Amino acid sequence: MVKVIRAHQPGGPEVLQLEDIDLPAPGPGEVQLRHHAIGVNYIDVYRRTGAYPAEFPFVPGHEGAGEVIAVGEGVKEFQPGDRVAYVGALGGYSEARNISAASLVHLPKSFSYATGAVMMLKGLTAQYLLRRTFRVKKGHRVLVHAGAGGVGQLLCQWASALGAKVTATVGSQEKAEIAHHAGAKHVILYREEDFVQRVREITKGRLCDVVYDGVGAATFPASLDCLAPFGMFVSFGSASGPVPAFDLALLAQKGSLYATRPSLFTHIADRRVYEDMTEDLERAIKRGHLNLDVAASFPLEEAAKVHAALEARQTVGSIVLTP
Ligand code: NDP
């Protein structure tokens, strides 16, 4: 038996229940691992509420790190005792789990389990957004919404290390300092200030080359007004609700803009690409371009409390659960 957090129906944080379940031996191509750290992500909230599809009951969580305890038939790349990390199928909020070996990477010795647990989903998201979706270069003007959040801070750090001029929006003064510290040259309190107006002032009317928007409904369509002609609107999440359907002609009116709605899971579907992205991320961490310290760690049984705080905009940075 292993302890897990399970949801039996969609709903608020209270549907996350601590339970004991049987863990079968790993199947062919699977690895069984004991978690040392489990990444908490906003996507876990979408799954819990039913905003993103999931078959109930389910164990939330797409990201974690731990130690291999058994391997299934045909698994050659991993063996018991290996330190590993993953982004992959649901099942993360657990003491131990089975997962496809294709989702795992070896965790470098110099990385802690906590780093491993936030590096995969959040770190690889920052990687593909900055390096594969819009390739950020020196001098680019970049706007990052929710710049003190988990993914937000990584975007600010890495984009500024790449030489971009980063502006971040945040929900409070305390978060403003955090986003500054993460590399945002300018920070906008978007609950109090008109962020389009502030972006115009900050960029002296030149506007941004790219907007990274994980906030969604609350910042749309204003995010488009922050873009220079031919700029790229990257809508990668919807913490405030989904972006509504809109007339594509809006992109022409706002300056021949590009818009994309990418997902990490498309990028990592090809194992070679997944490995290349992970190598690039590990390089950036080793060069000091990214700081993957966790902001807070909670026992697994407090998952509901963590979800409530995440939805109430009370968290900053990356959070892990520990079994
Ligand atoms: P965060 O730590 O960034 O938490 C979400 C933040 O969004 C809050 O702290 C808050 O910051 C901001 N926010 C704005 N409006 C709201 C609202 N109404 N309710 C709640 N939060 C709000 O979470 P993550 O780092 O886990 O994820 C960030 C975004 O990235 C999410 O939208 C997530 O879905 C997306 N994502 C997308 C991926 C992809 O491949 N497409 C992969 C990974 C993440 P503030 O108070 O500063 O406004």
Compute how many other C-beta atoms are within 10 angstroms of the C-beta atom of residue 320. Answer: 26
Q: What percent of the residues of the chain are helix, what percent strand, and what percent coil, each to the nearest 5?
A: 35, 25, 40
Q: What is the C-alpha to C-alpha distance for residues 85 and 65, in angstroms, rounded to an integer? A: 4
Q: Which two tokens stand for residue 281?
A: 């991320």
Measured in angstroms, how far is the CA atom of residue 319 from the centroid of ligand 1? Answer: 13
Query: Which CATH superfamily does the domain covering 2-121+265-322 fall into?
Result: Medium-chain alcohol dehydrogenases, catalytic domain (3.90.180.10)
> Rounded mean pLDDT of 187-211?
98
Sheet containing 258-260, strands listed edge to edge, beginning at the edge strand earlier in sequence: 186-189, 165-170, 141-144, 208-213, 227-235, 258-260
Measured in angstroms, how far is the CA atom of residue 263 from the centroid of ligand 1? Answer: 14
Q: What is the C-alpha to C-alpha distance for residues 304 and 255, in angstroms, rounded to an integer? A: 43
Cross-strand pairs, 16 = 7
Mutate to test the pocket of ligand 1, among 38, 40, 41 (most ligand atoms within 8 A of CB): 41
Q: What is the C-alpha to C-alpha distance for residues 265 and 125, in angstroms, rounded to an integer? A: 9
Q: Output DSSP code: residue 245.
A: P
Kindly tell me the number of DSSP H helices and DSSP E strands found in the chain.
10, 15
Q: What is the C-alpha to C-alpha distance for residues 7 and 180, in angstroms, rounded to an integer? A: 37
Measured in angstroms, how far is the CA atom of residue 238 from the centroid of ligand 1? Answer: 7
Mutate to test the pocket of ligand 1, among 313, 319, 320 (most ligand atoms within 8 A of CB): 313
Q: Tell me which residue of 99, 92, 132 sits closest to 278, measured CA to CA.
A: 132
pLDDT at residue number 7? 98
Compute how many other C-beta atoms are within 10 angstroms of the C-beta atom of residue 287. Answer: 9
pLDDT at residue number 212? 99
Query: What is the C-alpha R_g of the chain?
Result: 20
Domain boundaries, the chain: 2-121+265-322, 138-261
Q: What is the C-alpha to C-alpha distance for residues 231 and 271, in angstroms, rounded to an integer? A: 30
pLDDT at residue number 48? 98
pLDDT at residue number 238? 96
> Rounded mean pLDDT of 225-236?
98
Q: Report pLDDT digits (tens) over 245-254.
A: 999 999 999 9
Q: Report pLDDT digits (tens) over 103-149.
A: 999 999 999 999 999 999 999 999 999 999 999 999 999 999 999 99
Instruction: Enter the pTM of the model.
Output: 0.97
Q: What is the C-alpha to C-alpha distance for residues 47 and 61, in angstroms, rounded to an integer? A: 9
Measured in angstroms, how far is the CA atom of residue 13 from the centroid of ligand 1? Answer: 16
Q: Report pLDDT digits (tens) over 25-50.
A: 999 999 999 999 999 999 999 999 99
Do the beta carbons of residue 84 and residue 106 sit within 8 Å?
A: yes
Token look-up 């993103």 returns 52
Mutate to test the pocket of ligand 1, among 38, 42, 87, 273 (most ligand atoms within 8 A of CB): 42
Q: Which residues contact 102 (CB under 8 A, 6 or more apart)?
A: 29, 271
pLDDT at residue number 293? 87
pLDDT at residue number 123? 96
Q: Report pLDDT digits (tens) over 62-72.
A: 999 999 999 99
In CATH terms, 138-261 corresponds, of 3.40.50.970, 2.40.440.10, 3.40.50.720, 3.90.1520.10, to 3.40.50.720
Spell out which residues line ligand 1, taking CB within 6 angstroms.
Answer: 41-43, 121-122, 125, 146, 148-152, 170-171, 175, 214-215, 218, 236-240, 262-264, 310-311, 313, 315
Q: For all residues of the chain together, what is the average pLDDT?
A: 97
CATH topology match: 2-121+265-322 vs 138-261: no
Q: Output DSSP code: residue 303.
A: H
Token look-up 């990385």 returns 111
